[in-house]
Chain A
Amino acid sequence: MDFDAAFIGSGAGGYYSALRLLKRKKKVLIIEKEKFGGECLNYGCIPSKALIELSEGIEYLKDMPGVSMNYSIDMKEWQKWKQSVVTRITGGAEKLCLSLGAKIVYGKGSIKDRNTVTVNGTDYSAENIIIDTGSVPVKINGIDDVYYNREILAMENIPEKLVIIGGGYIGIEMGTAFRKLGSDVYIVEMKDRILPEIEEDLAREVDKKLRKLGVKIMTGSRVQSVKKNGKYTVAIEGSESMEADTVLMSVGRVPNTADTGIEKLGIQMDGKFIHTDGHKRTSVPNIYAIGDVSGGPMLAHKAFYDGYVAAENILGNDTVVDYRALPFVVYTDPEIAFTGKSGAKYNKVPVLANPRSLTMNQKEGFFKIYYDDDGSITGAGVAAPRSSESITEISLAVESGLSIDDLFLTIHPHPTVSEGLKDAAERND
C-alpha cells in the first residue's frame, strides 16, 4: 500500500485528522479539489468572523453615548487583510502537514475500490480512506446568479440593500454584520421564526436586537422568484416585491457526495448523508466519513472531533463518538451559544445582572443552566457577549458530570462575562 490513510478533502475534519496520523508516523495522502482547509477556513467560519468583528467594532462605537465619529471602510483593502488572515491559517495547516510528510494532491479524488483512490487519472492505494467532502449550499432552480456564503464574504463593497433568503445562522450572522456596516437588510424566513433550529428563547434575544438595529424580518414568508436585471427583484408570496442590489441565499446546506465514487462501493447512506457507526466507519470498515458529509450538525468543531475519532481507530485505539456536549454558537448580537441538553429544570440569570456585560454596553441576553434532579449540569443556553468562549465551561461540566454546586464553588474572576454562569449555578433554596 502507498499510504496508511488517504483523505478526500482537506477541510476542518480532514486536515485535523491527517495531522493526528502524521504526528504518529503514518503515511498520509490528502486530496483537495480547491483550497487547502476547505469551506470553514476559506469561505466560512474564519472570514465570517473577521467580518463580524469589524461590524461589531463599528457598532460598539456608534452606539456608545458621547462618542461621535466619521469613518469610512475601504472593503477592497479590508478583503486583502482578510485574505491574508485566511492564508496564514490555511497555509500554516498545509505547511505543517507537508513538514510531517504528507503528500498533498490537488484534484478531484474519487474512490475506485476499497483500497484505491484516483486523482487526476493516477491511482493511489491506501489501507484506509477518509471521506471529508463537506457540504454545499442548497441552490434552488430558477434562482440564479445570487450570492451564497462564498460570494457575500468576498464582497468589495457594502451593499445598500441586502435581501437575505433564509433566516438560519448564516443568514442571521451576515444580516447582523451588514446591518451594522450600514446596509438596509431584509431577512425572509419561511418558518414562523428566525433561527428555527435553535432554542426559542435564544433566538428571541437575537430577533429583538435585530429589530432594534432596524433589520426587517419577514417570517412565515416564501420567496416566489428572484430576477436579476441590473438590480434584483425579489417576489414574495402575498406581499409586494422588493428591489435589492444584493441577494444572499442561505436556505441550508447539503452534504457533498458528488463524484466521490461511494455509490460504486454501495456504501450505506442516511438519506443524502453517508451512514457511519460510532467509530465513524462507513458500511465498508476501512472507509471512514467525517464532518458535514457524515450527518449531524454541520459544525467545524464536530468535524475536528469526528476526525480525531477516525484517526484513533485507524491508529488501533478503539474509540467512538460521544456528542453529549456538542456546542454550537451563532455569532449574532447578542452572541448565542448552546451545549448539552435542555430540560425542565434550570436557573436563568439576565445579562443585565452581569457587570462586565454592562461595561461593554451590552444589556440583552441571559445565562441559563440546565441540570437534573441530583444537580448534575446537563447543558446551557447563553445569549451574552462572547458566549462562544464561556460555553466551554459548561461543556466541560457536562463531559465530566459536574454539578451546579461544583460550578458555583469554582472561583470566577471579577468582572467577567462568565461570572453570569457562576451566578446561574447558584441554588435558590
Chain B
Amino acid sequence: MYTVSLPPIGEGIQEGEIVKWNVKPGDTVKKDDELVEVMTDKITVKIPSPVAGKIVKTLVSEGETAMIGDAILEIDSPDESNSPTGEKNVEPAPKQEVSINTDEKISNVKATPAVRAYARSKNVDLLKVKPSSPDGRITKEDIDSFTSQKPVEAPKPASVAHEGDEIITPTGIRKIIFDKMTKSKQIIPHFTITDFIDTNNIEKSIKQYAGKRYLSFTAFFVKAVSAAFKDFPKLNAVYNENNKTYTIKKTYNIGVAVDSPTGLTVVVVRDVASKSIFQISDEIKDMAERARTGKLQLQDVQGSTFSVTNIGSIGGIMATPIINYPEVAILEVNSRTSAFVNGELKQGLYLTLACDHRLIDGAEAARFLGRLKEVLEYPLLYIGD
C-alpha cells in the first residue's frame, strides 16, 4: 500500500484545502496523473500521483483542510510501499475480503453498529460528527449534540430570504479573500493618507516609447515604491502575528492587484530593485494575462512585501485600500483627474497610502508619500531604464 501525503507546496504554506478529487476508489492511475486539486491561501495546485496503481481510498474529503505531510490518499501500488510495517509480522497479507458491490458508501468511522444505525435514522453523516472521546469513537451522545447544535449554525434573521433573494456562501478564491480581508481589518489598525501627483512626465515617457517598447502605467508606481524604500525601509515589512514582531524585508517583492475571473489576485514582481521598468511592465502584463487564464504558478502569487493596487483604471478619484495582510502598507493608484497645485491646474491623480499604524506613524507615511511624489513627477531622474 502506498500512502500519498500532501507534498510541500511552497515556502510558508502549511496547509491546503482539498477542493476536488480527480480520482475515486477503484480508479487506476499512472504516475504523474493529477490526483487532487488543493487550494492554499495563495493558489490552487494540482497534485500529481507519485506512483502508478489503483486508488484504494481518499483519506480527506473535499472541503476539508490537510496539513502538509498529512496522509491524503491510499494507492495500491506495485511500487515500493511507504507504509510503516511492524518488525515482526511482515508476512505478505493474503487476500481475504468479502467484497460485495452495492452503490452505498459506508463510512469507516469508529462507532458501534447501533450508533451507526441511530445516525442513519437521524440522517446524520457520521463523517461530519466530531467524536468527544480521545480515541475517536462516536457515541449516541455525539450524534445528539451534533443534531442539536445544527440549527444554531444558521443565524435566522440574517438569512431570511425573500423570494428572488440570493444567498452567497463565499467559497474558493472568494473565501480566501473573505478570510484575508477580515483578518487584515480585524488585526491591523489602518490609517490612510492621500496626496495628488502630477502625471504629466509619466505620460510623456509612455508616449515616447509608444510603438517601440511596452511601458505599463502601473509599472511606474511599482518601480517608484522600490526607489522610495531605500530611505524608508520600514514600509517594506511583514507582520508576524504569532510573536507580535515585524520583519523588515531586504528584497522588494511588490504585489500588484489584478482582476481575474475568479476574483482579486495579487501577482508578485520579485526583487523590483534589480529590474528595469520595462522588465517590470512585461512581467505584470504576463502575469495578469495568466491570472485571467488560470495559469499562474505558485511563485507568481506568494512572498509579496508591499502591494500596489490600481483600480483607478476603472474609476474613482479616491479610495481607502485594505492592507494585504501580513504586509504593513498598500498604495492605491486612483483615477486620473485634475487639481489646482499652487494655483495652477494640473493633470494627475490621487495616491492613497494605507499603513499599519502600530509600526508606521503618520509623519513617516507623509514623508514616504512625499518621496513617491517626487519620484513619480520626475520619473526619468529616478527610474531611468
A binds B: yes
Could you list which residues of chain A lie within 8 angstroms of chain B, going by C-beta atoms? 198-201, 270, 276-279, 295-297, 317-324, 326, 328, 338, 341-348, 373, 376, 379, 381, 399-401, 403, 428
Q: Contacts A199-B94, A343-B93 known; A376 to B106 CB distance under 8 Å? A: no
Q: Which of B84, B93, B102 contacts A320 (CB 8 A)?
A: B102
| A373 contact set on B, CB distance < 8 A | 84
Q: Which of A198, A278, A400 contacts B112 (CB 8 A)?
A: A400
Contact B101 A295 (CB under 8 A): yes
| B293 contact set on A, CB distance < 8 A | none
Contact A347 B89 (CB under 8 A): yes
**B150 contacts A by Cβ under 8 Å:** no
Within 8 A of A (CB), among B111-151: 111-113, 116-117, 120-121, 123, 135-137
Contact residues of B: prevailing secondary structure? loop
Q: Nearest Cβ distance between residue B207 and chain A, in whole angstroms?
A: 69
Contact B110 A376 (CB under 8 A): yes
Contact A321 B88 (CB under 8 A): no
CB<8 Å pairs between A and B, sample of 23: A277-B103, A279-B104, A317-B121, A318-B121, A320-B102, A321-B100, A321-B102, A322-B116, A324-B106, A324-B108, A328-B98, A338-B96, A342-B95, A342-B97, A344-B86, A344-B89, A344-B93, A346-B89, A348-B89, A400-B110, A401-B109, A401-B111, A401-B137
Q: Cα distance A372–B104 when bound, in Å?
A: 24
Within 8 A of A (CB), among B57-112: 83-86, 88-90, 92-98, 100-104, 106, 108-112
Contact A277 B93 (CB under 8 A): no
Contact A278 B93 (CB under 8 A): no
Q: Cα distance A319–B116 when bound, in Å?
A: 10
Could you list which residues of chain B lie within 8 angstroms of chain A, going by C-beta atoms? 1, 83-86, 88-90, 92-98, 100-104, 106, 108-113, 116-117, 120-121, 123, 135-137
| B92 contact set on A, CB distance < 8 A | 344
| A198 contact set on B, CB distance < 8 A | 96
Q: Which of B93, B96, B104 contacts A321 (CB 8 A)?
A: B104
| B116 contact set on A, CB distance < 8 A | 322
Q: Nearest Cβ distance between residue B79 and chain A, in whole angstroms?
A: 16
Q: Nearest Cβ distance between residue B129 and chain A, in whole angstroms?
A: 13
Question: Taking CB as reference atom, which chain B residue is nearest A297?
Answer: B98
Q: Nearest Cβ distance between residue A288 and chain B, in whole angstroms?
A: 13
Contact B94 A200 (CB under 8 A): yes
| B110 contact set on A, CB distance < 8 A | 376, 400-401
Contact A345 B101 (CB under 8 A): no
Question: Taking CB as reference atom, which chain A residue is nearest B88?
Answer: A428
